[in-house]
Each structure stands twice: as C-alpha cells, then as structure tokens.
Amino acid sequence: MVRKMRMLTLTIGEIGHGKYDSGEIPRGYIPSLTHSQISGEIPGASPDHMMSPVGNIGRRGHQFPYVNHSPNPSREFSGSLGNVAWKERVDGWKMKDKGAIPMTNGTSIAPSEGRGVGDIDASTDYNMEDALLNDETRQPLSRKVPIPSSRINPYRMVIVLRLIVLCIFLHYRITNPVRNAYPLWLLSVICEIWFALSWILDQFPKWSPINRETYLDRLALRYDREGEPSQLAPVDIFVSTVDPMKEPPLVTANTVLSILAVDYPVDKVSCYVSDDGAAMLTFDALAETSEFARKWVPFCKKYNIEPRAPEWYFAQKIDYLKDKIQTSFVKDRRAMKREYEEFKVRINGLVAKAQKVPEEGWIMQDGTPWPGNNTRDHPGMIQVFLGHSGGLDAEGNELPRLVYVSREKRPGFQHHKKAGAMNALVRVSAVLTNGQYLLNLDCDHYINNSKALREAMCFLMDPNLGRSVCYVQFPQRFDGIDRNDRYANRNTVFFDINLRGLDGLQGPVYVGTGCVFNRTALYGYEPPIKKKKPVFFSSLCGGRKKTSKSKKKSSEKKSHKHADSSVPVFNLEDIEEGIEGSQFDDEKSLIMSQMSLEKRFGQSSVFVASTLMEYGGVPQSATPESLLKEAIHVISCGYEDKTDWGSEIGWIYGSVTEDILTGFKMHARGWRSIYCMPKRPAFKGSAPINLSDRLNQVLRWALGSIEILFSRHCPIWYGYGGRLKFLERFAYVNTTIYPLTSIPLLLYCILPAVCLLTGKFIIPEISNFASIWFILLFISIFATGILEMRWSGVGIDEWWRNEQFWVIGGISAHLFAVFQGLLKVLAGIDTSFTVTSKATDEEGDFAELYMFKWTTLLIPPTTILIINLVGVVAGISYAINSGYQSWGPLFGKLFFAFWVIVHLYPFLKGLMGRQNRTPTIVVVWAILLASIFSLLWVRIDPFTTRVTGPDIVKCGINC
C-alpha cells in the first residue's frame, strides 16, 4: 500500500556507533528511531537560513536577516516592471548609482510606513540623499483605506440614534407594566434588556471599519528582485487532518498541491502535514501527492494558472484559453488533466482498500507493521517526502519541502486535540526549518490565490508595522454552497462586516484557518514598545532626569506586572537587552538563562535556540540525522509536561475553539493583527451545507465560547494589566457570551404563541406618542442593517440569511452549548465532537444540501415552529368568532408570531426535503389554511355552542 521507500531502522544506542540494520545508508536518507519512525531527507541549511553566531543569538537590532554578499552594491532590477513609466523611474534611480542603502551587515533597508526624512529607525545608519526617500523602493508596502465619510458617518449617526431610541423604549417598557399578564411582561422586558446589551457588544466594535491595500510590486522591488537571491522571509505552512474517512485524502491532496505550487521562492516554503489520526491512508496519499506534484507544480508556474488546486482548476466552467498565448498550453493542459484523472484513480483506490482494516493491522511494503495501527498508542512519525536535494520536479527545478508528521500518542496523556497537534507542528518545524512566519490551513482550505503569501508579507515584512503584528488573518471563502446559501454557511456578515470593524481597532480575531502568524508572537513574547519622543518643553525643563526616573518607575511597574499570572513573563525588549548587554561572556549566566528557557519551552536545546532567532533559520553545522532526532523528541507525549505550552505558548488549551483563545492571548499582550482581503480570495474551503452538519459545527463553536467564558481567560476579567483596547475587549466579550442569548431568544420565540393561546399580550395599550418610539426603534434597526450593507458591500439576501440563521442556531445549537458547557464546568462531563465531514459533490450539484439527518438539535426549533403555527390558527379563529373588536389586539400578537415563523422558514424548508421554493410555500400555506378552515368549521357548526374569550383553546378541545 505504501509506495516503495527506503526506510532504515536504528536504535538509540546505535546512533553514536553508526550500526545500521541493513545496507549502506544512502546520502540524504535519515535513519529512524526504534520508538519513533523517521525517514526521508532534510537538506542542509541554505545560506538564507544560517543561524546567527552565539554572541548574536536573539539580537533583534538588525532590520533584515538576509545579507547580500554581492560585490557590487548597485542592484539590478527586473525589466518586467509593468509599464514604460514605471521602468523609466527605476532606470532613473539606477542612474544615480547609489544602490541600496548599506547597513553595517551589508543588508539593504527601507524606511517604514508613514516615516519622514527625520523619522528613521535609530538602529540603522543611513548615508543617502533625501531624494532617494521618494523612490518606489522606499514607499510603504500597504496602506489603510478608510471607508468614505459619506458612508460611515450616517452609519455612526444611526448607531447613536438607535442607542438613544433603545434607552427610551426600555424606559417605557419598564415603567409601563401589564398588570393582567405580569409574568409574561416581566419575562419579555428581561429578554429585551439582554438583547440591548448584546447589540451594544456586537455593534460598537464595528465603529471604525477600514479597508487595506497592498503593493506587491513594491514588495518584489524591495525583497524579491529578479536575478538576485530572494530576501522574502521563509514560511512554514501547516495542514492539519485527523480522520481520512471524514476528511477525504483527495481534498487534503489538493490543499497540499496548491501549497507546493504557491507563487513564492521554493527554498522559503515548507509544508507540514499533521496526521493526528496516524492513518496509513493519509501517509500513502501524501506519497502519491508528492509524486504528482513533480508534474503539477511546473505546469502551474509555466502557465500561471489559478487556482492551483487541480480539482477546482479543472472544475472551472470558464474559457480556459482566455489570456493564454502559449501554443503548447492546450496540449499540456489535456495531458495534465489525464495525469490528474489517473492520480484520482490511485487515491480512490487507496481509499477503497482502506475501507476494511486487516485483522493483523496494516503492513508496509517492506513487510514491517504500520507504527500507527493503534491510533491511541503509537510512536511519533516523521517522513520527509520532498526537499532541496530530492525534491526536483519534472523539469529539474527544486520543489518546496513536504513533511509528514504524526505526533506520539500514549494512554494516560492529555493530547489536547487540534491545539496539541498544532503545537507539535510549531516545535517540529522550528527544529527542521524554523521559518520566521507560519501559515495554518485546514485540510479542506486550499490556496486560491497563489500570491496569498506575498499579500501577507506586505504587512509582516514592513520594517515598522510588521514588528507589532502577531498575525495576518484572511477571510474564509467557500466552494460548493448553493447560490441562495440557505443556512448562511458563507458567514459573509461576520467576515465582511465584523472583522473589518475590528481591523480598525486592534485587529480581527483569529478564526482558525487562513492565518499567517509571526512565530515570535506564538512563543509568548510581548511586542516591542514604541519609545515616545520627549516633548520640547519637557526637555527644556530637565526632561532627561524625568525620563530616567520614569524609566525606573516603569521597570518597577513592569516587574510588578510580570508577577501577575495573567501577563506574559517575557518581553522581546527585555530579552534583547539582556542578551546584548551580557554577550554571553559569563558562562554561568548563559547556563542559567538556558535553564529558564528550557523550563518554559521544554527540554530541547535545539528548539530553545530556535526561539531566540527572530528571523528564523537552522544551524549550518546541524546534520539531518541530528535534526530529525530532535524533531522526534519535541513531538513526544511528555515533552510539554511542566512547561508553558498551551498556557502561554503556542495554541492555548482549555477550549475546543482554541483559535479564539489563542488570538485573545496575543491581543492581551499588546500585539495587533491585520485583516487582509485581496480581490481574489486567498483561500477557499468547503463547508457543511446540510442543516444537521451545520448545526453541529455551530454547536462546537458555541461550546468553545462557553468554555472560555467560564475559564480564567474570560475577557470580562482577564488581562487588565495588559494592552488590550477597550472596544477590542468588547468584541471578545461578545465572542464568548453570545451563546447565552439563546435562553432569552428561546423565551421570546415562545411568547407569541403563549399570547395567542391565552388571549393576553406583553405590551399594554399604547398612546399615539408612545407608538412613535416603537416605530422609530424598528426604523433604526432596519437603517443600521441597510447602512452596514452599504459600506461593506454585503447583499441584502446574505444579510437576511444571516438574520434567519441567527434565530435557528440560537434556539438549537447555542442552547445545547450552554447546557453542555455548564455540565462540563460544574459536573466535569465532557462532550466529544466528531470531525465535520468534508464530502465532495460527486452525487450532483448540492446533493448534500438536501440530505436530512435527524438530530436532537432539531427538537427546539421544531417545537417552536409548531406551537407558533397552532397559535396563529387559534388566534385568527378566536378573532373571527369574537367579532370586530378583537382584531385590533390580534395584529400585535400575529406580528411577533410571524416574525418567528419567517425566521424559521429555512429550517421549515429543510424539514420539507428537496423541494423548490414555490411548492414549499404552497404546502406551508395549504397546511395553514386547512387548519384555519377546520377550526372555523367547528366554530360555525350549528350543532355546537359558539364561545368567546380566552377559553378558545378549551372550546377547541371540547369540540
């Protein structure tokens, strides 16, 4: 089942003696440990990845890690720079013969965003003319694009007006109780107050939304000039998978292929696939993928195709000859499509064979048992499929690294699910490649825009902005969703409105995938603090002395702050000053500092050394064998014991939504994040489109929020000694508290039916003046939505679907999450979740949308829908039998009942099965009218007694 690979076995005791089981070790192949399987090839460190000398470890004074050893300081530029005007400007710059501005280490630098002539980084020596600052190579790589005032100012005004109207409305509701229905009135007022608070938490973080623009041409001109070694930062890309039966290997293969074909220097990209299920099927599929990549990657780069996931590229219903001028394209495309079809057959063959597990377990081709036959008790495994020396494509060019990782699993250890797997990838990648930045993707999220990494580098590699950015988050976009998006799977309101609003504050929350991290931020360090320049008048009045005193006070305050467990222990600047001041002259202090770091990061000197290298890289003298041995060590079960992993470092444990918690910890330390929305979506994935899977997904998210709410990391009280902005805290409080809204929402959806069945109402008779505030409240609600859609570009259909699913998910998944979360916190009863299926759409367009799977989550919305329909029928029947005077009070009750029914209509349509819209409406109204006429027939039957008043329900039962 496994492709033929040369895997050698080596005991721990034989490592030092060079004794091998059989044969001569070929160069490039890495021996494997008895208790931990490793195989493949790790190339030696490239010059770009050299470790700094010991005396410079951890020093962050240098602006750029890469050194240009070219003897000629002048830089040659690419001729393909867009247009003639652009080329002339570059040629004019070259004529000055100034070249790049040298630093002490020979690296070229550029002023940061927003800096002027006098605002240059003090750590850099410049020797240049002022005219050079206006050159394109000195321009910022990105800029903020504020929302036009004609769109954002009316939006803010309506928010303020809505808040005022809401306060007046609540004052009226509280001061005007309904005496004959006091319990119903009190319940409704409590619900309305909660809705008002949740609206404030959700609305005000969207006060100042922004857009951003990136300049990829400037990035290339500064860091990736043609004919010179690329100075773009290395990126380690993580792909996580667990169950190949629910996450099809073909889906994972497409994600990996899109990564290997990304438009980025191949020596700067490393792809790590985490197989947390230790499935031999995933291993075999990855081996097939690495072979197919040798043909697919050069095809993508030769013809610059998009997207670079073959399944989605060949599925495009577009004219693939558009903008293609190479005569060989048609022939090569047809050949590649045949190759891909054969590749799919091989993958499907592996899946079919894996359906039935042999009694003796899986056996590899060399006759040895698969180490992961017991998924809960197996050694750590690492296989390097592609690398510099052995990873050449069909045209002889290098391919990015591709590494298979399965961490060790043993009974009795807490493995922390996905968060634990991601932390294992952080450590193993730090040992093997140590890329400065990390991109994490779900196995079903492929790279849709081959320049996505370059988009992120426009923020992360900015000399000024990048040092304070913990991650760059991209919006999630999805394939395979029907045009109507019945269950709001696209989450457009969240990604296009909420996150853009947060980007104007301290940055968007981390949403679990499509995020490029600064590795330093994941290690629990604080961002560098910008030093404020002294004011002119204070400098005249002894400013220096005050500054020294203030420094002393701030250091005392900082030491006191670090004593708080809610604040991270380390600060980037503290480490810089300590290392630069001592230069490790004192061997004892060096040992002590290493011991403290090992206590924090774990017992691996290689990994600890990598954490002090802000710009990444591995030691030049390190051998592949030693690196892989250390990589196996850092993914062992007991490595995280008595360390800060999962509490202050890496992905944070304690919630099934580890993404929200991890991002929150970074923002609490003072980091900021960036929201990047390129015109072509950077990543695309698949979403569960049938109702049952969608509700289970929402249930998992809501339960994670409840876990955070009742933990020590609750944003209501956590991290007040840090640097979390006030409105950013609002957003995190809303992110964790929103499931609790399900309780008042459930009660508010039941109230209309109760009012219709009992003849009572939650609102007293109102005067004409009071009715104005009711009207203004509804107008302000609609105006807020309309203005949000205006500045964000979200369509009214997407906004309405989001409103509908807010009710459907609120009274089902969110409600269950609240009770399950309370059970977990109070009684310790944990709920295990299954992975959401990532099924392909091979059975027809949106076949999965019409699959109905009954689950207990559907009980509350079904019950509410039925009682509201019954209430509407009973209320109309009562009004007809009571006369004209009863129709007035009925309209208010029917308004709330129809509000519930309209919001639950997508749920009703899901219950009806695969039906077109018109037949479904006909069926619903037929049932409703039949019920009304049946009740009316009972009421007007001459042989029955006509009754009036709230005894209508009792009469119906008697009749």
Residue positions annotated with a catalytic role: 276, 659
CA distance 48 to 50: 6
SS3 sequence of 733-795: HHHHHHHHHHHHHHHHHHHHHHHHHHCCCCCCCCCHHHHHHHHHHHHHHHHHHHHHHHHHCCC
The residue among 762, 669, 674, 776 whose CA lies nearest residue 719 is: 669
- Cα separations (Å) of 117 from 111, 211, 574? 9, 27, 29
Other beta carbons within 10 angstroms of residue 184's beta carbon come to 19
Using DSSP, state whether 297 is helix, strand or coil. helix
Q: Spell out the SS3 assignment of 363-387.
A: ECCCCCECCCCCCCCECCEEEEEEC
Residues 6 or more apart whose Cβ sits within 8 Å of residue 22 = 8
**Is 442 annotated in some ligand binding site?**
yes
| Tokens 């109780």, residue located | 177
Helix (H) or strand (E) holding 506: none
- CA–CA separation, 500 and 303 (whole Å): 34
What is the residue type of 531? Answer: K
Coil, strand or helix: which one is 440? strand
Give the residue carrying structure tokens 């580098």. Answer: 457
Q: Which of 374, 434, 359 is nearest to 408 (CA)?
A: 374
CA distance 183 to 68: 77
Distance CA 700, CA 690 (A): 16
| DSSP3 helix / strand / coil % (the chain, rounded to 5) | 50, 10, 40
- In whole angstroms, what is the distance from residue 464 CA to residue 800 CA? 41
Is 781 in contact with 196 (CB distance < 8 Å)?
no
Pairwise CA distance, residues 54 & 583, whole Å: 9
Q: How many CB atoms within 10 Å of residue 409?
A: 20
CB 428 within 8 A of CB 631: yes
Strands 381-386 and 401-406: antiparallel
Pair 4, 365: CB distance under 8 Å: yes
Rounded CA separation 628/632 (Å) = 6
Burial label, 831 (beta-carbon count in 10 A; 0-12, 13-18, 19+): middle
| Residue tagged 């109905």 (tokens) | 852
Strand, coil or helix: 363: strand
| Residue for token pair 């359906």 | 355
| Pair of tokens at residue 586 | 């004192």
**In 3D, which of 898, 958, 947, 923 has the Cα closest to residue 756?**
898
Check the annotation: does 247 bind a ligand. yes
Rounded CA-CA distance 136/680 in Å is 25
Q: Do the Cβ atoms of 266 and 400 come closer than 8 Å?
A: yes
276 is in an annotated binding site: yes
- Stated length of the chain: 959
> How many CB atoms lie under 10 A from the CB of residue 392?
14
Q: Are 328 and 470 in contact (CB under 8 A)?
A: no
- Rounded CA-CA distance 330/326 in Å is 8
Residues 6+ apart with CB under 8 A from 721: 561, 564, 566, 567
Taking alpha carbons only, the member of 311, 202, 59, 192 closest to residue 727 is 202
Q: What residue numbers does the annotated binding site for Mn(2+) cover? A: 418, 442
Q: What residue numbers does the annotated binding site for UDP-alpha-D-glucose cover? A: 240, 246-247, 276, 417
